[in-house]
Chains A and B, each alone.
Chain A
């Protein structure tokens, strides 16, 4: 039987059929989609606060003799413990999914985790579609157990989110063999490390030899004029754009199956390596002394779709650029508490170190209140660093903001450090979308106090005046202070409040409500209007309207509506 599954759904299905006992990951997209699929398959899912914890959970399961899968967006974030695990070695099959994002479909950073192949000393597999996701996960688990090593399975967003008919087999109950005492292997002290690193090198040589006859690698000889070495989603794009080319498809691409590559190179006149982002396979091929083309023809950024391949390697002509379409940047939904927070920041005229998560909605016009958003949980450290070099010039003029999930991911450590060095004002937004926080149970106030923050305040993010006043007070103080901004993500809000409306006779069209950037409010030619079907009734616009023109349909006054919205928060 075949079922239509996406790459991540196919991985969850394979995990169920292969008796995987633990699926862990850090809750960012597309990992959240894996969680959903894994739960539907009845698998045990661990949503970890960070990539590192996710990986450690899976390592623990593997050392206890069970099969485990860990999923991370950034393999670089876990490079250190993962490399150590190469020495210790897996017991139960351990597969680490590295979810790269060429073309920036899901995030702001176009990292190629494959750039770490040499540093990590692990075997790497890469499937081309959902059917292969299932097949390659089974193969990777077997590989991991046979050579007692973690295996990295690299997926691009395209493969993770694309679907195909996938053959479905029978589920299998997994089991954990139990903990084994093997200190010479599992305790990484220098005298053990020296011996273990020789073992890792031997393992890699054996996997390279295995790669030559592995079913994951396959040679398809068609025309001899052009031979393409490729892996992942680009395999299908190559077959689409260059149907006559011979193809060496590498499903197990590192360590490179050298004999297979040499054999293939000998059969074609022109050899081109087609891979997205960095020339990783190309470098490995060149290191063999095999002449090839690759990044001299193809870009090092973005996704390599069939159009681009047909132009770069085939006969297709450049298409004229289509006329521009107005861009649609991400924006906070109606009712989003971040809108209140960002509006308050704007009124304070301070520099705001933010976070690439939800707070990033404050970067775009008209909220325009976030000045930097670098990495998850990084805002506190970045604000502290600026404070360290600018000292008095920044005192009371800078804020750090991040969501509770980012705070638990790594911001908390920066806060503990900030407590040792002195002041600063940190805003932690609570009540984010639960898919991202993973339903973490940490008690933020206790944690913040325990880490050494001298002051702790709480505000309702939708209460503009209260938030602004509290922040003003805290910015004026020299001590380290944390403000917890409570709110509730509109994505989880089932019944929105009654919609508000603008009374045209009172409206002076000053545009204050418009500058909240709420998707429900627009300036029609004749009047400012609130679209009742998209209004969440959060009351922010009523709070900024000085003319008192905004009230709910029920005839409530603006202030009463706003107050009720704030009261109803969790």
Chain B
């Protein structure tokens, strides 16, 4: 990957606001005066299927796609899709994944076990956290705020000014602006209060910068 470019992958299932969250991050990078490129990888049908989005920002960004092992940050809206995006995760990368796994039919019917998502992701990088984010956003309005809460959680790690994501949210006002800001803030609070775990102890902005060098 290019020096000085941060690559973020967001992954979830169809219906989750993966692209909307990616746009908030991209807007935050734009407001910080950086070049930015994002891309949506939609589901082929409107019903079900995987959805992901790539966001890349830095001084000069070329391809909108994150290559294999090139993602500095993975935002997992859902466990199985986070695992699918795991091939993009860098060995120096950080992943924050929600606790919900949306089972496929084979899993619901007991024909196939759910994979050990966190274990397999930790084989790529030790810096993987599973976050009880669904419970966190329940009082705010439920599942559609999961992505923003995860983005808030990871925001201190991104090479963007503090508050950039919040400013980006405010730049695109909507009916639920207050709830969206709340989700972002709650996620941000979680960063400070996360339980003491190896992955978290190494979560520091300098680590991302160091890995890139």
B26 A163 Cβ-Cβ under 8 A: yes
A161 touching B40 in the complex, CB below 8 Å, given contacts A326-B104, A523-B109:
yes
A326 touching B107 in the complex, CB below 8 Å, given contacts A161-B40, A162-B40, A361-B47:
yes
- Chain A residues lying within 8 Å of B23, measured Cβ to Cβ, are 4, 163
Contact of A330 among B45, B67, B110, B115 (CB under 8 A): B45
- Chain B residues lying within 8 Å of A521, measured Cβ to Cβ, are 108
Q: Determine if A236 is an interface residue (Cβ-Cβ < 8 Å).
A: yes
Within the assembled complex, what's the spacing in Å between the Cα atoms of A511 and B105?
Answer: 13
A105 B44 Cβ-Cβ under 8 A: yes
A106 B44 Cβ-Cβ under 8 A: yes
Within the assembled complex, what's the spacing in Å between the Cα atoms of A291 and B48?
Answer: 47
Nearest-neighbour CB distance to chain B for A302, whole angstroms, equals: 13
Nearest-neighbour CB distance to chain B for A207, whole angstroms, equals: 29
A236 touching B62 in the complex, CB below 8 Å, given contacts A305-B67, A514-B108, A523-B108:
yes
Instruction: Return the CB mask of A79-121 against B: 1 if under 8 Å, else 0.
Output: 0000000000000000000000000111110000000000000
Which one of A105, A107, A307 has the highest number of Cβ atoms from chain B below 10 Å of its Cβ?
A: A307
A333 touching B47 in the complex, CB below 8 Å, given contacts A240-B2, A326-B106:
yes
Query: Interface segment, B76-84, B154-162, B179-187, B201-209?
Result: B76-84
A330 touching B47 in the complex, CB below 8 Å, given contacts A6-B40, A514-B108, A523-B109:
yes
Which one of A106, A158, A306, A360 has the highest number of Cβ atoms from chain B below 10 Å of its Cβ?
A: A306
Instruction: Return the CB mask of B45-60 against A: 1 if under 8 Å, else 0.
Output: 1111110000000000
Contact of B42 among A105, A164, A322, A360 (CB under 8 A): A105
- Chain B residues lying within 8 Å of A365, measured Cβ to Cβ, are 105-106
A305 B65 Cβ-Cβ under 8 A: yes
Within the assembled complex, what's the spacing in Å between the Cα atoms of A360 and B15?
Answer: 18
A164 B48 Cβ-Cβ under 8 A: no
Instruction: Return the CB mask of A353-366 against B: 1 if under 8 Å, else 0.
Output: 00000101100111
B86 A322 Cβ-Cβ under 8 A: yes
- Chain B residues lying within 8 Å of A158, measured Cβ to Cβ, are 39, 64-65
B84 A325 Cβ-Cβ under 8 A: yes
- Chain A residues lying within 8 Å of B41, measured Cβ to Cβ, are 105
Q: Determine if B30 is an interface residue (Cβ-Cβ < 8 Å).
A: yes
Q: Determine if B112 is an interface residue (Cβ-Cβ < 8 Å).
A: yes
A325 B105 Cβ-Cβ under 8 A: no
A319 B68 Cβ-Cβ under 8 A: yes
A239 touching B63 in the complex, CB below 8 Å, given contacts A164-B37, A326-B115, A519-B48:
yes
A163 B38 Cβ-Cβ under 8 A: yes
A330 B43 Cβ-Cβ under 8 A: yes
* A164 closest partner in B (C-beta): B37
Size bracket, chain A contacts: 35 or more
* A432 closest partner in B (C-beta): B46
Q: Determine if A129 is an interface residue (Cβ-Cβ < 8 Å).
A: yes
Within the assembled complex, what's the spacing in Å between the Cα atoms of A30 and B69?
Answer: 29
Which one of A327, A336, A517, A521 has the highest number of Cβ atoms from chain B below 10 Å of its Cβ?
A: A327
Instruction: Return the CB mask of A1-23 against B: 1 if under 8 Å, else 0.
Output: 01010100000000000000000
- Chain B residues lying within 8 Å of A162, measured Cβ to Cβ, are 37-40, 64
- Chain B residues lying within 8 Å of A511, measured Cβ to Cβ, are 109
Q: Determine if A312 is an interface residue (Cβ-Cβ < 8 Å).
A: no
Question: Chain A interface mostly helix, strand, loop or mixed?
Answer: loop
A325 touching B68 in the complex, CB below 8 Å, given contacts A165-B35, A330-B44:
no
Within the assembled complex, what's the spacing in Å between the Cα atoms of A237 and B87?
Answer: 19
* A307 closest partner in B (C-beta): B67
Q: Determine if A192 is an interface residue (Cβ-Cβ < 8 Å).
A: no
* A365 closest partner in B (C-beta): B105
Within the assembled complex, what's the spacing in Å between the Cα atoms of A307 and B7?
Answer: 14
- Chain B residues lying within 8 Å of A147, measured Cβ to Cβ, are none
A237 B65 Cβ-Cβ under 8 A: yes
- Chain B residues lying within 8 Å of A390, measured Cβ to Cβ, are none
9 residue pairs of the A-B complex, CB under 8 angstroms, read: A162-B40, A239-B62, A328-B48, A328-B80, A329-B49, A491-B47, A519-B48, A519-B102, A522-B107
- Tell me the B residues contacting A by CB distance below 8 Å: 2, 13-15, 23, 26-27, 30, 35-50, 62-65, 67-69, 80-81, 83-84, 86-87, 102-110, 112, 115, 120
Nearest first, the 10 closest Cβ-Cβ pairs linking A and B are: A522-B108, A330-B45, A240-B63, A162-B39, A331-B48, A240-B62, A322-B87, A162-B64, A330-B48, A161-B40
Please give 11 more A-B residue pairs, beta carbons under 8 A apart, in addition to A329-B49, A360-B45: A4-B26, A29-B42, A163-B38, A165-B30, A239-B62, A305-B63, A306-B63, A326-B106, A331-B47, A366-B105, A525-B110
